[in-house]
Amino acid sequence: HRRFDYRPKTDPYCQARYTFCPTGSAIPVMKGEDVIEVYRLQAPVWEFKYGDLLGHLKIMHDAVGFKSSLTGKNYTMEWYELFQLGNCTFPHLRPGMDAPFWCNQGAACFYEGIDDAHWKANGTLVLVTTISGTMFNEMAQWVKYDNETGIYYETWTVQESPDKKSTVWFDSYECSKFILRTYQKLADLGAVFKKIQTNYTSIILFSGEPIYLGNETSIFGPQGNKTLAAAIRDFYSPFKPHQSVREFFVDLFKIIDRVILNHQFYLFYNLEYWFLPMKSPYLKIIYEEVPLPVGNKASFGV
């Protein structure tokens, strides 16, 4: 996933259904000698059943919690879409504009408190490691860098087949990937993680080798490819970015129908368009284990 030099200003056209990070605060500076517990947080985004096609989907949202031993304060940190999931997955087709218009950014949100009831009742709240205040402060610096340079949300993972060793053409960039990056950073700083099973949701498209199509200017600009531009607009025409989670899944299944009928998908990734020659089983939502990382420095705590 490409890193960018800065985060672009958001266009006023992009309106969020829910305010992004409404109670967010700056990440505090911890005392070096503080001992901070790190918690894995996970809960379902939506309990959704669609006939017998996919059965019960485990669409989970991931976050990480911290508890300071010195102050007793709890904190939650997560990464999610600025304008909700639909906007990160589908563009707007605006009158008078040839190119699809994307309202797509994701960012980290940090706030005081852990909503124990939410995470415990529906999912997971479990201690995964203990770190020092110094390590926490180093992690906070990394979060700032990660947030300023990894700016676009990417819903889809695209790979060649369901086989574990199959080629991954494009990797997703969403809430769980941020949590995995955070754990890895803590491990690199010396955190030692407990040996517990940790599972994450991925939405995977299956495709032959992707074909590069170009960027917005080369496709939709004055010297652009009118036929290709029309095909991309047509592909995205049934989908509505401003929508609830339920409506998002309705659109998701519209996509599946189109993809299976036509064996095609147009992917917008790192500001470029790609054509995916889709193949069976086309799309899968999987919930699979990703182990906690192993560090490479002298350990701290137990």
**Active-site residue numbers?**
61, 175
Could you tell me if 59 and 46 are in contact, meaning their C-beta atoms sit under 8 angstroms apart?
A: yes
Write the single-letter amino acid at 203.
I
First to last CA, the chain: 33
Write the single-letter amino acid at 192.
V
Q: Is the previous residue joined to 241 through a cis bond, with omega within 30 degrees of 0? A: no
Could you tell me if 271 and 219 are in contact, meaning their C-beta atoms sit under 8 angstroms apart?
A: no
Residues recorded for the chain: 302
Write the single-letter amino acid at 108.
A
